[in-house]
Amino acid sequence: MTATIDSAGATMRASVLTGVGTLRVEDRPVPAPGPHQVLVEVAAVGVCGSDVHYYRHGRIGDFVVEAPMILGHELSGRIAAVGDGVDPTRAGQRVAVEPQHPCRRCAQCTAGRYNLCPQMQFYATPPIDGAFCRYVLIDDDMAHPVPDSMSDEAAALLEPLSVAIATMRKAHVAPGTSILIAGAGPIGVICAQAARAFGAARIVVSDLVAARRERARAFGATEVLDPAIDDVAALDPKVDAFVDASGAAPAVVSGIKAVGPAGHVVLVGMGAEDYPVPIGYIQSMEISVTGVFRYTDTWPAAIHLVNSGAVDLDALVTARYDLDHVAEALDSDSDPASLKSIVVPR
């Protein structure tokens, strides 16, 4: 093992979810990298809606927290040690972490869909620990080098940008196309930026909160709608693609009806497990409906979009917290002015 830190016997601070709505800062052993792994000293971690959901409800669908777990999966840092088979010169390198460990052997992995690997170990998804701590392990090829011009916070937010890139690809967004995005929270706003970067000419964003609608304009929206007043389903002209980043059933139904013939619908937001959708409209318009579950091979594109200035992730950050105040970070979404909170694990 090549290291800038000797992890043998060392401990680190970690914010641990011990029950619904309960966190405790603990001392945990610093892990040692195995073959083809790197140890990353965490610099910044974005707070995701899934972290909030586990904190408040202890589960997301079939993923149930049954033992103490560290939350956080949007992260950047610096390689502190490398395992066997890793170039020793990588020690000290700044990286953005793709928080996935697929098996690399199953049918999904070998088909290039490693995000759907049934043996996936994903940060902060039970029972796998996440990154609200000082050090984490990851496969060396999932630690993506970032330029020194990119901030630690922007490097951490390459993870939600990767969700947006996967979404734009599935939505077939290309220069001159039009898109409707439901929800102007963090993912909705990042999707608006990504849509602009992919060349969309018309970017419509709907949200119930006026302040969020206006904020969406600053991040690429060409039009905004209030679904409490505006008839989203009657959008004219209809759009080529609809992305739901709200998880709200009414938004999904009206958004599908706003899509024109042969259009695309991508479901990103977490909401109810089941609800009725307009099957007749989907069938007669030949609309393709799909979901997004994480991402594959998105970090190179994400790094390029940020480095080129096409996407501004630093502008999303509205608050910063340390490990002693992770609860406040997780509750920050109750403030309409909050967009993206960052935990700095010190």
Yes or no: domain 2-157+313-343 corresponds to CATH 3.90.180.10: yes
DSSP state of 293: -
Q: Which whole number is the average pLDDT over 200-226? A: 96
Q: What is the 3-state secondary structure (H, E, C) of 14-55?
A: EEEEEECCEEEEEEEECCCCCCCEEEEEEEEEECCHHHHHHH
d(CA 212, CA 210): 5
CATH 3.40.50.720 positions along the chain are 161-291
- Chain position carrying tokens 């930026």: 193
CATH 3.90.180.10 positions along the chain are 2-157+313-343
Is residue 169 predicted with pLDDT exceeding 90? yes
Residue 333 burial by Cβ neighbours in a 10 Å radius (0-12, 13-18, 19+)? middle
pLDDT of residue 7: 59
* pLDDT tens digits for range 19-60: 999 999 999 999 999 999 999 999 999 999 999 999 999 998
Element (H, E) at 76: strand 74-82
DSSP state of 334: G
Yes or no: domain 161-291 corresponds to CATH 3.40.50.2300: no
Task: Answer for the pair 260, 286: CB distance below 8 angstroms, yes or no.
Answer: no
pLDDT of residue 3: 59
Q: Which whole number is the average pLDDT over 132-139? A: 98
pTM: 0.95
Q: Which whole number is the average pLDDT over 212-236? A: 96
Tokens for 306, please give them: 């940020």
How sure is the predictor about 4, in pLDDT bands with cuts at 50, 70 and 90? low
* pLDDT tens digits for range 272-319: 788 899 999 999 999 999 999 999 999 999 999 999 999 999 999 999
**Integer angstrom CA distances of residue 34 from 85, 86, 123:** 9, 10, 17
